[in-house]
Amino acid sequence: MRGTTVDGRVGPDLTHVASRRYLAAGAIPNTPGYLGGWIADSQSIKPGNVMPPQPLTPDQLHALIAYLGTLR
């Protein structure tokens, strides 16, 4: 994310992710349900992308979705 000290090398830039209409290069709409599926297992949505699966608990996933929803 731009404006932070995070230096991620794998996965999408999350700066302003909540203001985007689509995710995964336009493959899915940016809704909480699709976003959760993308975070948990992006390969099932867009095989071959470089984002690894994220083994989160349901509570962690919901918290992350809520946080990402604030990034406008």
Q: How many domains, in total, are found in the chain? A: 1
Residues of the domain holding 40: 17-68
Average pLDDT, integer, range 9-34: 88
- Domain assignment present for residue 12? The answer is no
Q: Reply yes or no on whether the pLDDT at 22 is more than 90.
A: yes
pLDDT confidence band for 5 (50 / 70 / 90): confident
pLDDT confidence band for 20 (50 / 70 / 90): very high
In sequence order, the β-bridge partners of residue 22 are 29
- Domain assignment present for residue 56? The answer is yes
Q: Are 42 and 63 in contact (CB under 8 A)?
A: no
Whether pTM > 0.75 for this model: the answer is yes
3-state helix, strand, coil in the chain (%, to 5): 40, 5, 55
- Domain assignment present for residue 3? The answer is no
pLDDT of residue 13: 77
- Domain assignment present for residue 33? The answer is yes
Span of 4-13, 51-60, 62-71 with lowest mean pLDDT: 4-13
